[in-house]
Amino acid sequence: MKVILILLVSLLAVMQIAHAEEVITLEPLNQVYSAGETVQVKITTLPLEKPLKAEQISLYEGATKIPIAPFFIRYSSTVYVLYFDMPSASTQDLILKVERALYKKNGILEETTAQRIITLDNEKASILAFIPGFVVLEKNQEGIQLQVENKKGSTFLNITTSPSITHVYNGLQTVNTGTKRIFRFTVDQTKLESDAHITLNHNDFSYTIPVMQRQEIVQQQPQPSQTPAALTFIATKSEVKQIIQPGIVLAGTLSLKNQGNTSLDNISLALVGNIRAITTIDTTFIPSLQPQQSVDITLTINKNRDAVPSLYEGVLQAATGTETASFPLSIEVQEETSGGEINATEVNLDLKQNELPDDLEQNPLNINLSKPTPQQAQKEYPIGLIIVTLFILGILIAFYVLKKKKPIKEETFDEYIKKIRK
């Protein structure tokens, strides 16, 4: 008996540890759902490296992904709410997944997927679909609008609410099968209860729609480090963010540098996130980096030109025993443009940053960044120009002399005789 008790206690302890380490928790509001019914899920997370997006929400039937249109709201820093309609053709239990969530564990960036089985019961006598599945109030919002669709069951609908929410639907309401109806409510946020809600009772089955005030989302600022990180990526840009078509290949080289004062050994390189589906790197292990030593890493994106149109995100991560470094990557592969064949092209990401030689780093004044002054060539005068200039000067001189010279007056013979006699 004692052995059994010890085993039970150990099992509970292991379960508690496993639960404590859950990064993402999915909590459906109901236990079972029918095809076409609105599914409501509360998602709670540990602090994540990046907030969750609707694109990370998926529904699977076995290994087959089922298309849905999820409404996804970030309620607070670590709480999200999700609602969507179950596919009308569902005949078996489905798996709800939150995929490619990034978080840090012991300083190392890791990726995780959370999932929850959605139990199907198509024998339910009542099925409603409604929008919204959660009401998240904006500041000063006083009105709520709710659309209800009766997909199966009784025509009549009973509506009740918390005291802070008022409405005029005190009697049974009519919502015919296969039709939709809009209901409007007024809310006093100053009196809003922590568990405020709207309840729909349909054919003795209740649906609860939580009504919540949006919480302030505080962006976590990285704490300043006392000492700068030793391991770091050196590149011309802080991240790669591109939109491409399936025929485009992206390639680039960046450097991983040890900026510390001690050697770093056994450095592993890996792609974290779904970016690894279309990206390759030329090495995954570096034996060691001495202080101030760097090594080049080449990454290639969509090398085989077969990327499926989607959003690919993640990081290139380098990690050793005490240091990590991350380089963000975000690639959106779009559908092929219509008309004509796509010209396959390889694009250089231009990530390589040329570092200055040590002597120039110590004496940066040796680098002249100003615009160079063009050297002045010795002036040359063509012979033709000299001749023309001298000719003009000669004309000017002759004109000047003629102008100054007094004209000689001619004398007659009689005038000459008169001049002698005098």
pLDDT at 409: 53
- Of 216, 245, 275, the last residue of a domain is 216
Is residue 217 a contact partner of residue 76, using CB atoms and an 8 Å limit? yes
DSSP string covering 240-284:
EEEEE-TTEEEEEEEEEEE-SSS-EEEEEEEEESGGGGTEEES-S
Helix/strand/coil for 109: strand
Angle (CA) 139-142-148 rounded to 5° is 115
* 191 and 154 fall within a common domain: yes
If pLDDT is split at 50, 70 and 90, which confidence band does 363 have?
very low
The residue type found at 420 is I
Provide the CA 219 distance to its chain's centre, in angstroms. Answer: 15
User: Which domain-ending residue is among 315, 349, 366?
Assistant: 366
Q: Higher pLDDT residue, 367 or 187?
A: 187
Rounded to whole angstroms, how far apart are CA atoms 230 and 224? Answer: 14
On whether residue 39 sits in a domain, the answer given is no
The token pair at 304 is 């085989």
Q: Mark whether 210 and 246 lie in a shared domain.
A: no
Mean pLDDT score of the chain: 82
Examine residue 86 and state whether it is found in any structural domain, yes or no.
Answer: no
pLDDT of residue 341: 53
Question: What is the pLDDT confidence band of residue 375, given thresholds at 50, 70 and 90?
Answer: very low
- What whole-number distance in Å separates Cα of residue 40 and Cα of residue 85? 9
- The predicted structure's pLDDT at residue 359: 42
The reported pLDDT for the residue numbered 407 is 54
Say yes or no: 136 and 204 in one domain: yes
How does pLDDT run across 253-297, given as a tens digit for each residue?
999 999 988 999 999 999 998 899 999 999 999 999 999 999 999
Q: Is residue 419 part of a domain?
A: no
Whether 332 is in a domain gets the answer: yes
Q: Check: CB of residue 349 under 8 Å from CB of residue 298.
A: no
Tens of pLDDT along 119-161?
999 999 999 999 999 999 998 999 999 999 999 999 999 999 9
Whether 361 shows a pLDDT value over 80: the answer reads no
The residue written with tokens 């013979």 in the block is 413
Range of the domain at 164: 131-216
pLDDT band for 84, please (50, 70, 90 cuts).
Answer: very high
**pLDDT by residue (tens digit) across 85-105?**
999 888 899 999 999 999 988
Inside any domain, residue 167:
yes
Grade residue 241 by pLDDT with cuts at 50, 70 and 90: very high
Residue 144: how many other CB atoms lie within 10 Å: 19
Rounded percentage of the chain residues whose pLDDT exceeds 90 = 57
Q: Indicate the residue among 159, 186, 216 that finishes a domain.
A: 216
Q: What is the pLDDT of residue 410?
A: 53
Is residue 251, in this structure, part of any structural domain at all? Answer: yes
Residue 312 contacts residue 277 (beta carbons within 8 Å) = yes
What is the band of 231 on the pLDDT scale with cuts at 50, 70, 90? very high
In this structure, are 287 and 191 located in the same domain?
A: no
Q: What is the pLDDT of residue 402?
A: 66
Q: Given this model, what pLDDT does residue 355 score? A: 54
ω into residue 132 within 30 of 0, thus cis?
yes
What's the CA gap between 100 and 277, in Å, rounded? 12
Instruction: Judge if 176 and 244 occupy the same domain.
Output: no
* Residue 13 backbone class (left: φ over 0; alpha: ψ -120 to 50; beta: rest): alpha
Closest CA to 207 of 111, 119, 128: 128
Residue 332's pLDDT is what?
Answer: 92
Between 239 and 223, residue with greater pLDDT? 239
On whether both 278 and 350 belong to a single domain, the answer is yes
Q: Indicate if 241 and 301 belong to the same structural domain.
A: yes
Gap between the Cα atoms of 15 and 33, Å rounded: 27
Domain identity same for 272 and 161:
no
pLDDT at 414: 63
Q: Are 191 and 163 in contact (CB under 8 A)?
A: yes
Q: Dump pLDDT digits (tens) for 205-217.
A: 999 999 999 888 8
Query: Could you give the CA distance from residue 59 to residue 115 in angstroms, rounded to a whole number?
Result: 9
Q: Is residue 350 part of a domain?
A: yes
Domain assignment of residue 241, yes or no = yes
Count of domains forming the chain: 2
pTM of the model: 0.68
Q: What is the CATH number of the domain that holds 264?
A: 2.60.40.10
Residues 174 and 274 in one domain: no
345 or 212, which is more confident = 212
* Position 330 pLDDT exceeds 70: yes
Q: Give the chain's radius of gyration (CA, Å).
A: 42
Q: Identify the weakest region by mean pLDDT among 306-310, 340-344, 374-378.
A: 374-378
- Please tell me whether residues 319 and 359 are part of one structural domain: yes
Say if residues 155 and 203 touch (Cβ distance below 8 Å): no
Asked if 276 contacts 317 with a C-beta cutoff of 8 angstroms, the reply is no
Mark whether 163 and 243 lie in a shared domain. no
Give the residue with greater pLDDT, 160 vs 340.
Answer: 160
Judgement on whether residues 248 and 336 belong to the same structural domain of the protein = yes
Per residue in 6-15, pLDDT (tens digit) is: 443 344 444 4
Tens of pLDDT, residues 26-63 = 999 999 999 999 999 999 999 998 899 999 999 999 99
Residue type (1 letter), 236: T
